[in-house]
Chains A and B, each alone.
Chain A
Amino acid sequence: MGNLQLVLAISLFTPLITGLAVLLFNNRKNMRDICGPIGGIITFGSAIAIAMAIIDGQTISINLWQIVPGIGLSFNVTALGALFGIVASGLWILASIYSVGYMRGSKAKNQTRFNFYYAVAIHAAMAISYSGNLLMLFIFYEVLTFSTYPLVTHGQTKDAKDAGRLYMGILVATSLLLFLPALLWVWIISGTLDFTKGGIIPFDFSPSLLPFLLAMFAFGIGKAALMPIHRWLPAAMVAPTPVSALLHAVAVVKAGVFSFLTIVVYIFGIDFLLESGAAVWLVWLTAFTILTSSIIAITKDDLKARLAYSTISQLSYILLGAALATQAAIEGAALHIIMHATAKITLFFCAGAIYVNAHIKKISELDGLGPKMPLVFIAFFVASLSIIGIPPLGGSWSKFMLMVGSVDAGIPIMLLVLGISSLLNIYYLLEPCTRAFFKPSLKEIHVDNHILTIFPPVITATLSLLLFFAVDWVRFLTTLMVIP
Chain B
Amino acid sequence: MLILNNIPALLVAIPLLASAVVSVLPSARIAWGVAFVTTLCCLYMAFELTEIVSASLTLSYAFGGWEPPWGIAFVVDGANVHLVLLVAFISVIATVYALSTLKHEIAVEDLPKAYAVWLLTIASLFGLSMTGDAFNLFVFLEISALSSITLIALGAGQDRRALLAAYNYLIIGAIGATFYVIGVGYLYAATGTLNLLDIIKRLNEIGTNQAAVTGLAFMLAGIMVKAGVFPVHIWLPAAYSFAPSAVSSLLSAIATKVAIYYLARILFGIFIDTTHLIDLFLLFVLMPVSVIAIFYGTIAAIYQIDIKRLFALSSIAQIGYITFAFSINTHSGISAGFIHLINHALIKGALFMAVGIFAIGIGQRATMNSLRGVGRQMPITFTGFVIAGLALIGVPLTAGFISKLYLFKAIFETGNGIYVAVIAVSSALSVIYLWKIFEVMWLQEPLQPLKIEKESVVACVSLWLLVFTIITFGIYSAGVSSYGMNAANALIGVR
Per the 8 Å Cβ criterion, residues 105-147 of A in contact with B are: 135, 138-139, 142
Among A135, A139, A178, A180: residue with most chain B CB under 10 A: A180
A177:B428 contact, CB within 8 angstroms: yes
CB of A417 closer than 8 Å to a CB of B: no
CB of B345 to closest CB in A, whole Å: 20
Given contacts A177-B424, A180-B424, A188-B408, A65 and B396 within 8 Å (CB-CB): no
CB of A172 closer than 8 Å to a CB of B: yes
Docked CA distance A325–B428 (Å): 32
Given contacts A139-B396, A142-B395, A181-B420, A172 and B428 within 8 Å (CB-CB): yes
A181:B408 contact, CB within 8 angstroms: yes
CB of B161 closer than 8 Å to a CB of A: no
Q: Mark B446-483, 1 if CB is under 8 A from A, else 0.
A: 00000000000000000000000000001111000100
CB of A184 closer than 8 Å to a CB of B: yes
* Contact pick for B476, options A65, A168, A185, CB 8 Å: A65
Given contacts A139-B396, A177-B424, A184 and B476 within 8 Å (CB-CB): no
A67:B476 contact, CB within 8 angstroms: yes
Among B404, B428, B474: residue with most chain A CB under 10 A: B428
Question: In terms of DSSP, what is the predominant structure of the interface of chain B?
Answer: helix
* Contact pick for A176, options B408, B413, B427, CB 8 Å: B427
CB of A117 to closest CB in B, whole Å: 13
CB of A442 closer than 8 Å to a CB of B: no
Residue of A whose beta carbon sits closest to that of B432: A169
A68:B481 contact, CB within 8 angstroms: yes
Docked CA distance A181–B408 (Å): 8
CB of A73 closer than 8 Å to a CB of B: yes
CB of A153 to closest CB in B, whole Å: 8
CB of A52 closer than 8 Å to a CB of B: no
Question: In terms of DSSP, what is the predominant structure of the interface of chain A?
Answer: helix
Among A67, A142, A178, A187: residue with most chain B CB under 10 A: A67
B474:A172 contact, CB within 8 angstroms: no
Per the 8 Å Cβ criterion, residues 381-435 of B in contact with A are: 393-397, 402, 404-405, 408-409, 412-413, 420, 423-425, 427-428, 431, 435
**What residues on A are CB-neighbors of B476 within 8 Å?**
65, 67
B431:A172 contact, CB within 8 angstroms: yes
Docked CA distance A484–B481 (Å): 37
Among A65, A184, A185, A188: residue with most chain B CB under 10 A: A184
**What residues on B are CB-neighbors of A176 within 8 Å?**
393, 424, 427-428, 431
Residue of A whose beta carbon sits closest to that of B409: A188
A188:B412 contact, CB within 8 angstroms: yes
Per the 8 Å Cβ criterion, residues 233-274 of A in contact with B are: none
CB of A173 closer than 8 Å to a CB of B: yes
Docked CA distance A173–B397 (Å): 19
CB of B93 to closest CB in A, whole Å: 24
Docked CA distance A187–B412 (Å): 11
Among A138, A178, A181, A185: residue with most chain B CB under 10 A: A181
* Contact pick for B396, options A138, A173, A178, CB 8 Å: A138
Docked CA distance A67–B478 (Å): 8
A67:B477 contact, CB within 8 angstroms: yes
* Contact pick for B402, options A68, A168, A173, A185, CB 8 Å: A68
Per the 8 Å Cβ criterion, residues 61-86 of A in contact with B are: 65, 67-68, 73
Docked CA distance A73–B413 (Å): 25
Docked CA distance A176–B413 (Å): 20
B475:A168 contact, CB within 8 angstroms: no
Docked CA distance A168–B435 (Å): 10
Residue of A whose beta carbon sits closest to that of B442: A150
**What residues on A are CB-neighbors of B424 within 8 Å?**
176-178, 180-181
A173:B431 contact, CB within 8 angstroms: yes
**What residues on B are CB-neighbors of A189 within 8 Å?**
412
Among A65, A68, A168, A189: residue with most chain B CB under 10 A: A68
What number of A residues sit within 8 Å (CB to CB) of B? 22
Docked CA distance A185–B407 (Å): 12
Given contacts A138-B396, A176-B428, A177-B424, A184 and B409 within 8 Å (CB-CB): yes
Among B395, B474, B481: residue with most chain A CB under 10 A: B395
Docked CA distance A65–B477 (Å): 10
Docked CA distance A176–B400 (Å): 13
CB of B424 to closest CB in A, whole Å: 5
**What residues on A are CB-neighbors of B428 within 8 Å?**
172-173, 176-177
Residue of B whose beta carbon sits closest to that of A178: B424
Among B393, B396, B423, B425: residue with most chain A CB under 10 A: B396
Docked CA distance A142–B431 (Å): 13
**What residues on B are CB-neighbors of A73 within 8 Å?**
475
**What residues on B are CB-neighbors of A135 within 8 Å?**
396
Among A139, A172, A176: residue with most chain B CB under 10 A: A176
Docked CA distance A139–B425 (Å): 19
CB of B419 to closest CB in A, whole Å: 11
Docked CA distance A173–B428 (Å): 6
Per the 8 Å Cβ criterion, residues 165-193 of A in contact with B are: 168, 172-173, 176-178, 180-181, 184-185, 187-189
A67:B474 contact, CB within 8 angstroms: yes
Residue of B whose beta carbon sits closest to that of A139: B396
CB of A142 to closest CB in B, whole Å: 7
**What residues on A are CB-neighbors of B475 within 8 Å?**
65, 67, 73
* Contact pick for B405, options A142, A173, A178, A184, CB 8 Å: A184
**What residues on A are CB-neighbors of B425 within 8 Å?**
177
* Contact pick for B477, options A68, A142, A187, CB 8 Å: A68
A68:B405 contact, CB within 8 angstroms: yes
A184:B396 contact, CB within 8 angstroms: no
**What residues on B are CB-neighbors of A67 within 8 Å?**
396-397, 402, 474-477
Docked CA distance A67–B413 (Å): 21
Docked CA distance A178–B420 (Å): 10
Docked CA distance A154–B435 (Å): 18
**What residues on B are CB-neighbors of A68 within 8 Å?**
402, 405, 477, 481
Residue of A whose beta carbon sits closest to that of B393: A176
**What residues on A are CB-neighbors of B431 within 8 Å?**
172-173, 176
Q: Mark A27-38, 1 if CB is under 8 A from B, else 0.
A: 000000000000
**What residues on B are CB-neighbors of A142 within 8 Å?**
395-396
Residue of B whose beta carbon sits closest to that of A68: B477
Docked CA distance A65–B394 (Å): 20
**What residues on B are CB-neighbors of A139 within 8 Å?**
396-397
**What residues on A are CB-neighbors of B477 within 8 Å?**
67-68
Residue of A whose beta carbon sits closest to that of B413: A188
**What residues on A are CB-neighbors of B409 within 8 Å?**
184, 188
Given contacts A67-B475, A68-B477, A177-B425, A184 and B435 within 8 Å (CB-CB): no
Docked CA distance A180–B395 (Å): 10
**What residues on A are CB-neighbors of B402 within 8 Å?**
67-68
Docked CA distance A68–B477 (Å): 6
Residue of B whose beta carbon sits closest to that of A173: B428
**What residues on A are CB-neighbors of B397 within 8 Å?**
67, 139
CB of B204 to closest CB in A, whole Å: 35
Docked CA distance A180–B431 (Å): 14
Docked CA distance A142–B393 (Å): 13
Docked CA distance A184–B412 (Å): 9
User: Which B residues contact A (CB, under 8 angstroms)?
Assistant: 393-397, 402, 404-405, 408-409, 412-413, 420, 423-425, 427-428, 431, 435, 443, 474-477, 481
4 shortest interchain CB distances as A-B pairs:
A176-B428, A184-B408, A188-B412, A139-B396
User: Which A residues contact B (CB, under 8 angstroms)?
Assistant: 65, 67-68, 73, 135, 138-139, 142, 153, 168, 172-173, 176-178, 180-181, 184-185, 187-189
Please give 17 more A-B residue pairs, beta carbons under 8 A apart, in addition to A67-B476, A142-B395.
A65-B475, A65-B476, A67-B396, A67-B475, A68-B405, A139-B397, A153-B443, A168-B435, A172-B428, A176-B427, A176-B431, A177-B428, A181-B408, A181-B420, A181-B423, A184-B408, A184-B409
Q: List 25 A-B contacts (CB under 8 A).
A: A65-B476, A67-B396, A67-B397, A67-B474, A67-B475, A67-B477, A68-B477, A135-B396, A142-B396, A153-B443, A168-B435, A172-B431, A173-B431, A176-B393, A176-B427, A176-B428, A176-B431, A177-B425, A180-B424, A181-B408, A181-B420, A184-B404, A184-B409, A184-B412, A189-B412
